[in-house]
Amino acid sequence: MRTTLPLAVAFITGLVFVITFFLNEKSAIVGGISRQLLDWLIIIGGFTLLLGVVSILRVSWQSVERRKEDWIYKLITILSVLVMAIPGLLPESWSSLFGRQAGSIYDWLFLNLQAPMMATMFATLAFYIASAAYRAFRARTAEATILLVTATLVMLWRVPMGEAFLNLFSEEIPGLINRYIMGGVNLAVQRGIIIGAALGAAAMSLRIILGIERTYMGKS
């Protein structure tokens, strides 16, 4: 029951979409079932994300309750969740500060705290990327050199000052980078990776539908 039921459910739901692909997708029965299942996917996905939120709150609260190291930061996390979530959950009809519309607390926190902090977090990565590039350069291998030379050329190509610099050598260089690096080698590698990943995903899907792949169920 604990293993067979999930395997049967995965088989049937998977099979519905395979059948839908081969039969008429617009038909009332087959198409209708698959469209319903897509809504189910979104609904269960929503609950799964809420499960993650509850899990974060639970783990953080345990740290606070047991006064573990850095519990004060966990308390800050919990308070931040509540400060952002509660005004967003309350109906707009109660106050213009509630809900998710422009001018609400939720909107203010997003625009003035979350968005700038997210941009700053990603901006911080610029320094770590520079550090990673330095370490790659120190590796002194042919592959690392190819990577860095290409990166430098692309960066020069994409900024006006760099393009002007490349034009000093030849005005054809920016066009050649665009045609042969971006439209040639890069395109080819992306295609190779996409084809490989898609074949892998299809094979894995088949394993899941047939019940061969069971790792998603965790330990029995």
Task: Restricting to residues 2-41, name those near other proteins by CB under 8 A.
Answer: 2-3, 5-7, 9-18, 21, 37-41
Stretch that binds other proteins, among 61-69, 164-172, 210-218 (CB under 8 A): 210-218
Task: Report residue 29 CA to chain centroid gap.
Answer: 33
Stretch that binds other proteins, among 61-69, 70-78, 167-175 (CB under 8 A): 70-78
Stretch that binds other proteins, among 61-69, 109-117, 163-171 (CB under 8 A): 109-117
Q: Which residues have a Cβ under 8 Å from the Cβ of 207 and sit 6 or more positions away?
A: 213
Contact between 64 and other proteins by CB under 8 A: the answer reads no
Contact between 48 and other proteins by CB under 8 A: the answer reads yes
Counting Cα atoms < 13 Å in the Cβ hemisphere of 144 gives 10
3-state class of 171 per DSSP?
coil
- Rule CB under 8 A: choose which of 61, 64, 71, 150 binds other proteins: 150
Contact between 85 and other proteins by CB under 8 A: the answer reads yes
Q: Give the burial string for 112-140 (b: 16+ CB within 10 Å, else e).
A: eeeeeeeeeeeeeeeeeeeeeeeebeeee
Closest CA to 37 of 54, 15, 68, 59: 15
- Rule CB under 8 A: choose which of 33, 64, 84, 166 binds other proteins: 84
- Rule CB under 8 A: choose which of 88, 97, 163, 166 binds other proteins: 88
Contact between 164 and other proteins by CB under 8 A: the answer reads no
Residue 91 is classified by DSSP as -
Contact between 146 and other proteins by CB under 8 A: the answer reads yes
Taking the C-alpha atoms of residue 60 and residue 79, their distance in angstroms, rounded to an integer, is: 11
Residues 172-201 that bind other proteins (CB under 8 A): 179-199, 201
Beta carbons of 110 and 117 less than 8 angstroms apart:
no
